[in-house]
Amino acid sequence: MGRFAPSPTGPLHLGSLYTALASYLDARQHKGLWLLRIDDLDTPRNMPGACAEILNCLQSFGLHWDGEVDYQSYHLDQYEQAIVELQSRHVLYPCTCSRSLLANSPLIYPGHCRTKAQSTNAPHSLRVKTPNISTRFVDKLQGEISQNLANEHGDFVVKRKDGIIAYQLACVVDDQRQSVNRVVRGYDLLDSTPKQLYLQQLLGYQTPSYMHIPLIVDQEGNKLSKQTRAEAVNPHQAGPTLFLLLTLLQQNPPLDLRMTPIDSILEWAIAHWQPERLAKTQTVSDLKHQQ
């Protein structure tokens, strides 16, 4: 079971469609379902209309998902249950640190609030105590990854001060709830994986396999995003765009595929999907392939 989990912060750009396509091909080649989840918990960042745009865009590129679209915002009670579960394991503590204190602290949270009283009326986030041992996993493309959560990440937030469930926790609850066992996502989330493995372990969840695919970067080496020059993909150019994405996925699509209907492009791509061609690759540049 695979999934694609975009945040509704804007229309899909080439980078997000690249991830969508890779996870789609991976799921379909393994005859698995491909689920669509909208990561809409970070409400201040949600953009009105973005969901509909994302759904339409995936459809016009032939990336049809299985079942109903899943929205994180429908599952708030399940995230709260996970918080209660973590609390019963005594691994959470309230953090009252102000934004300015954190801004002046080193990148890794130094644990100011770890030893303070366990209950407070002041506004607080909830952090999880991280263990001082190395967490190891094997990424299908990036190989063996080993990180010490305490030294390299520090105690991280599972529920924000504004009451919003943090991505790390929501993601593991969602993947478990949806029985996702193959995660294909962008390289920028590689660093989140040890945190997610730790939460899965605390909550007694299954751990899926992980494949972190490269990020598409522009001329200056910046990840494509709305902040850079990433434009929304054009659904009227679906065939050539899919062809470009397959090229960027190092799949060497035959030239005559470029002008065939999208269903035949996808059919070819599923049959020939060889993700190992991206092994150890962290970024790919869209430049030299641009039509």
Positions that interact with Zn ion (CB under 5 A): 95, 97, 112-113
Nearest to 56 by CA among 183, 224, 233, 215: 233
* Pairing status of strand 156-159 against strand 125-128: antiparallel
Decide which of ligand GLU, Zn ion, none touches 197; Cβ closer than 5 to 8 Å per partner kind: none
With CA atoms as reference, report the closest residue to 98 among 112, 116, 118, 115.
Answer: 112
189 binds ligand GLU (CB under 6 A): yes
Which one of Zn ion, ligand GLU, none interacts with residue 2, CB within 5 to 8 A by kind? none
Binders of ligand GLU in range 11-70 (CB under 6 A): 39
- Measured between its terminal Cα atoms, the distance across the chain in Å is 34
Selected range binding ligand GLU among 4-12, 45-53, 74-82, 273-281, rule: CB under 6 A: 4-12
**Residue nearer to Zn ion on the CB measure, 5 or 95:** 95
Give backbone dihedrals phi and psi of 170, rounded to 5 degrees, phi first: -55, -45
Instruction: Match 């991976």 to its residue by tokens.
Output: 26
Taking the complex as a whole, the smallest distance from the CB of residue 44 to ligand GLU amounts, in Å, to: 15
Contact 51, 8 (CB under 8 A): yes
Q: Across-strand partners of 143?
A: 139
- The rounded distance, in Å, linking the Cα atoms of 124 and 162 is 8
Which of 2, 7, 130, 153 lies at the binding interface for ligand GLU (CB under 6 A)?
Answer: 7
Kindly write out the interface string for residues 142-181 of this chain, putting x where it contacts ligand GLU by CB under 6 A and - elsewhere: -----------------------------x----------
**Footprint of ligand GLU on this chain (CB under 6 A)?**
5-7, 39, 171, 185, 189
